[in-house]
Each structure stands twice: as structure tokens, then as C-alpha cells.
Amino acid sequence: MKRPRLPDNWRRALRRGLAWLRLKVAEPWRLPLGILIAVLAALFWWLPGLGLWMVPVGIALAALGVRPIRRRLNRGRPPARVIGPVTRGHMVTVPEREEAMLETVARIAPQVDRLHLVLNGFDAIPEVLGAYGNVSPFIPKHDLGLGGLFLPRPGEVDRVLLLSDDFAYPTDYVRTLLAHGARLGLDRNVVGYDGTALSKDGPRRYAPEARLGYARGVGLLSLETVLLSGCHLPPVGQVEDAAGFASWLSGADLLPWAVPREAGWLPPRPALIEKPLTAFPHQGQRWQDWRDAA
């Protein structure tokens, strides 16, 4: 006999709520605060601001403060605390963007352990890249497009940042994004700065250059500002764009989040070529097909 199972949208909403509670409430306070909320809601549900709906909220918060229960909730996923010390950057570029690519490498290479760079369409590896001991450039036989972001395969406990020369990354970019990932937990979550929330009225984008005061659950993450655990990196050929990445995350039961930043902290570069390497599919048939499927 099959065990009863909540609908997928209910399960994802519940997990987002638990992630939000974990983000907002420090671990030592979860158990006592959860018990207090549940008791007050049960006794004084008739008071304004309270209600019986707060009883399960209090129970859920208290459960997050009990380690055996928390381990059971994380069963089947590598716990966030084992995310290893290897921080990898993955980036793709084309010859028309060489100048921007070199500037991006200069900004990012000091912040990561390894930077894997796929040079689509290059005839030779720029000599200046040899000055970086942790940069691994690679010229594929065929243009891999955005698929180059998923090469090479990382270790399961590596922390992988998907990058692009579309942005002028600040010097504290990696450290700040890793901190957001640690707070939400990379076991079941994927974080980034360029996200779009889905709604019946259409997509609402949280642009990376705009201020965002707190983490928001989204349906779509642009590939250029993403942090995820190595065990969750899609295989090569599975993802072609942000919509495909969203479908992959949904199928893998992972939750995408747009994380906080100040206005202007992550400015985009001006368009470098007529057709951008990484187009963000906010509209069009590709977007509509994905939203209908979701």
C-alpha cells in the first residue's frame, strides 16, 4: 500500500516555508519559540493576530530545532555542513567578449579555488590566462553554448558558481553568495541574484542591479549568478537556458531563491554583441511552454 503523499505544489510550499523559518530564526531559538507559538495559538486563537493556523507553524518551527527530526527532513540530501571547501567557478564566453572575459577573470579568480573557463569559438587560449594558477581554460571542438557551464563535472560536495562576463562582479561577490547559500542550505536549495517569480499575471523579475531586502522564492534563476552544490549541477546537454534550468530544478525537487543585495551592488555590463550569449527568457514561446508545464 502506497503511503499518502501531498501534492507537489503543497510540498514545495511547505518546504519554502520551512526554509524561510530556518533563515529567519537562529537554531537555539527554534524549539522554545516554536513551542511558545503553538501553545499561545492553541490557548488564545480567538485573539487578533493569532489563530489555529499558527499551531502547525509553531510545531514546524519547533521540529527544526530538534536535530533527529531535522536530519530526517534532510534525508536523501547531503547535509549543508558537508559542503566541502572547494569553491569552483564555471564560465563560458566567446571571442567577441574577450576583453570583458579577462576583466571578469581578474575579478573572480582571486575569490575561488578553481575557475573553469570554456572558450567557445576561440582559435587559441589567450596568453594572459596563464598568469592565473587556478584558471583552467578549455576550447571545445564544437560550440557548447551555455552547456559549457556544466563542464567539468564537480565533486558532489563542491560549491559551484555559474558565472558570466555579463556582470561586473564585486570583490566580495563569492564570499557574500556563499554566506547566503549557507544560511538557506545548499542541500535542497539553489541561490542566485537574478530571479523571476511566476504568477498568473506574468513574470516578476528581481533584477540583480536592484535592491532586494530579503530572500524570495522564485521559479526561474538566470544562469549567470547561481550558486549550487556540485551534486545538483545538471549533466551536460540537459539544460540550454534559464527555462531549462528551472525545469531541471523542479524535476530534481530543488527550490530556487533570489537572495538579498543592495542596489547597484551587482551591475550588468552593457550589451557586448548583438545577440547576447545568455538570453534571459522572460517572454516568448519558451517561457510559455515552461510555465504551462510547471
57 & 131 share domain = no
86 & 67 share domain = no
Closest CA to 22 of 171, 189, 134, 196: 189
Query: Containing domain of residue 207, as a range?
Result: 82-258
Which of 43, 73, 103 delimits the end of a domain?
73
- Calculate mean pLDDT across residues 230-242: 86
211 & 230 share domain = yes
54 & 117 share domain = no
237 & 212 share domain = yes
36 & 93 share domain = no
89 & 218 share domain = yes
Which of 73, 100, 122 delimits the end of a domain?
73
191 & 108 share domain = yes
Report pLDDT digits (tens) over 154-179.
988 899 999 999 999 999 999 999 99
Kindly report the average pLDDT of the chain as a whole number: 80
Q: Between vectors from CA 273 to CA 268 and to CA 278, what angle results, nearest 5°?
A: 60
Q: In the Cβ-directed half-sphere of 138, how many Cα atoms lie within 13 Å?
A: 18
Question: Long-range CB contacts (< 8 A, 24+ apart) of 171-178?
Answer: 171/107, 171/110, 171/111, 173/107, 173/108, 173/111, 173/266, 174/87, 174/89, 174/108, 174/111, 174/112, 175/111, 176/261, 177/225, 177/227, 177/259, 178/87, 178/227
The answer to whether residue 62 sits within a structural domain is yes
The answer to whether residue 280 sits within a structural domain is no
Which of 73, 93, 116 delimits the end of a domain?
73
* Contacts with 105 (C-beta within 8 Å, 6 or more apart), sequence order: 91, 115, 117, 129, 132, 135
Q: What's the pLDDT score for residue 123? A: 94
Report pLDDT digits (tens) over 83-126.
446 899 999 999 999 999 999 999 999 999 999 999 999 999 99
Confidence band of 235 (pLDDT split at 50, 70, 90) = confident
d(CA 51, CA 42): 8
20 & 160 share domain = no
